[in-house]
Amino acid sequence: LVGKESTYEITVHNAGEVAAEELVIFVSLPGWADVLGAEVSTGSTQVVPAGEAGRTFLWKLGHLPGATRERLALRIVPRESRPLDLAVRWEYKPTLSQATIEVQEPKLSLRMEGPREVMYGKKELFTLRLSNTGNGDAENVVITLMPLTPGDQPVSQNIGIIPAGEEKAIEVELTARHAGQLQINAVAKADGNFEAQLAEKILVRRAALQVEVDGPQVQYVGAVATYRIRIRNAGTAPARNVRLTATIPPGGKYVSGIEGARLEANGTRLQWTSDSLNPTVEQTYLLRCTLSLPGDSRLEVGCTADDELAAAAVTTTRVEAVADLVLEVKDPAGPVPLGEEALYILHVRNRGTKSAEGVQAMAFFSRGVEPVAAEGAEHHMAPGQVVFHAIGPIAPGGEVTLRVRARAETAGNHVFRAEVHCKPLGTRLASERTTLFYQDRTSAQQASRPAPLGPAPLGPANADPGEPKLPDQQTPPPLPPTAGGTRSFPASPGDQMQPPKVER
């Protein structure tokens, strides 16, 4: 009705999910209609005059969230009787259309669980853990374990799909066959060129045996040879159940040195054991044996232990045979009357292991005693002395016995001296004895008779008729003369040798 107030309601609805910004509602009114008031649920209002043709009512909402409604109530009074058209339009800031796309990506990581130190030859269990820490599934995953020994083939296993955030474990059994640092390499690959690698070092501990044997370079037959045996663990783990064997050279005989050792194989092999040998530890043994065969003798020493450990060493000794002469003199057991013969026996024995050649023996008497006979070898007699030459050869263990008979011309203590020379050996032996010659009544009567005293003739003519005859000799070079007064023993061919050994 003209002149009567009417209420018109305008509702704005944001049906989208995105808020409308800087929203303004424009309501166009004719000039013959008056606006008495307005009520809004939000925002502000304003009437803008536009002349007699009409006016515009502004509703400024500003921000209108998505899926919300707001209301405007206008109180209008028409002044003319004609149709009342309300033209409504709106304006807001244009919104940009934006979509968020999530890109999924798998991320592989590989780690190993297990000991970082292992023993050689012992099986150890390791666990490879393959994780997908990304936000996408890893598909067609294959893990490959690289070979530990050059020349071996890699080992691969198909894992399949590993969902995002999940992990799979693969158990691997390894047996180390090389001592020292060992590197385990593994790689995991998935579709899309995704991969993870692993390189872990572990220490493989193993014992390492070393054997050394030292002995004399030259040894004489029958003498005791001492060998020093050293075993050492140069590895990084204890050596268990250590077993040692020493092979005695042919003709050798074990004497002593190693506690708990036992002889086997008819005495040609010596064995002993040690429970364990820690790293860097060294043990030393002394082995004593005799060697009876001339030539090169090889002593071989072997050492073994658990885990297929072995070591060996050998040393060579040159064994030489040598002659060793000894002189024993047997003189009269008691005093001897003048005019009677005194018997002196020389035993020349070779206690060595080689024949003695070039042996020469001599017997000397102090003034007042003269030799009358000799036997046992070719000889030459001169005043106060007998020279035996061309004795021998004397075999090992052999003995030559020489006998010299003499008479005293004057009573008293008289000295007998025996010497043995062997120039090839550089040997000079000597032995002295003292014999008391005394004058009884019979010998005094015989002494009053004239008798020639000069040097005894060569050969057996001067020998006692009851003694065996000696073969004719070729006269040797003359011996040095005796000194005046008390007879001194003449110089001998062995004067340039070592001082004589004197047995009394």
pLDDT in tens, 54-87: 788 888 888 888 889 989 888 888 888 888 777 8
Cβ atoms of 313 and 293 closer than 8 Å: no
Nearest alpha-carbon partner for 321 in 351, 287, 288, 358: 351
Classify domain 6-93 at the CATH topology level.
Immunoglobulin-like (2.60.40)
**Are the beta carbons of 245 and 301 closer than 8 angstroms?**
yes
The CATH number that domain 325-503 falls under is 2.60.40.1510
Which stretch, 5-9, 121-125, 331-335, 487-491, has highest mean pLDDT?
331-335
pLDDT in tens, 300-345: 999 999 988 999 999 999 999 888 999 999 999 999 999 899 999 9
Q: Does 501 score more than 70 pLDDT?
A: no
Secondary structure (DSSP) of 321-339? ----EEEEEE--SS-EETT
Is the distance from CB of 338 to CB of 409 less than 8 angstroms? yes
CA distance 36 to 493: 170
- CB-based contacts of 238: which residues, under 8 Å, 6+ apart? 207, 276, 277, 278, 279
What the block records as the tokens of 225 is 């040879």
Determine contact, residues 341/372, Cβ cutoff 8 Å.
yes
CA nearest neighbour of 361 among 502, 499, 494, 496: 494
Q: Is residue 364 a contact partner of residue 490, using CB atoms and an 8 Å limit?
A: yes
Relative to beta strand 87-93, strand 68-78 is: unpaired
Q: Go through the chain and tell me how many residues it has.
A: 504
Which amino acid is residue 369, in one-letter code?
A: V
How far, CA to CA in Å, does 503 sit from each of 153, 242, 304, 327, 328?
84, 53, 54, 8, 8
Q: 419 is written with which tokens?
A: 């010497």
pLDDT of residue 234: 94
What confidence score (pLDDT) does residue 469 get? 39
The domain at 108-205 falls in which architecture?
Answer: Sandwich (2.60)
Q: Which two tokens stand for residue 157?
A: 């296993």
pLDDT tens string 363-392: 999 999 999 999 999 999 999 999 998 787
Radius of gyration of the chain (CA): 65
- Pairwise CA distance, residues 379 & 361, whole Å: 9
CATH node for 209-320: 2.60.40.10
3-state percent breakdown (helix, strand, coil) of the chain, nearest 5: 0, 55, 40
104: nearest Cα among 134, 78, 65, 73: 134
Helix segments in 170-296, DSSP class H: none
- Looking at every residue in the chain, the average pLDDT score rounds to 84
Instruction: Give the domain ranges of the chain.
Output: 6-93, 108-205, 209-320, 325-503
Tell which phi-psi region holds residue 443, choosing left (phi > 0), alpha (psi between -120 and 50) or beta.
alpha
**By the 8 A CB rule, do 311 and 271 touch?**
no
The more confidently predicted of residues 348 and 98 is 348
Number of DSSP helices (H) and strands (E) in the chain, helices first = 1, 36
C-alpha 256/C-alpha 226 separation (Å) is: 9
Cβ contact 436:378 at 8 Å: no
> Could you give the 3-state DSSP secondary structure of residue 424?
coil
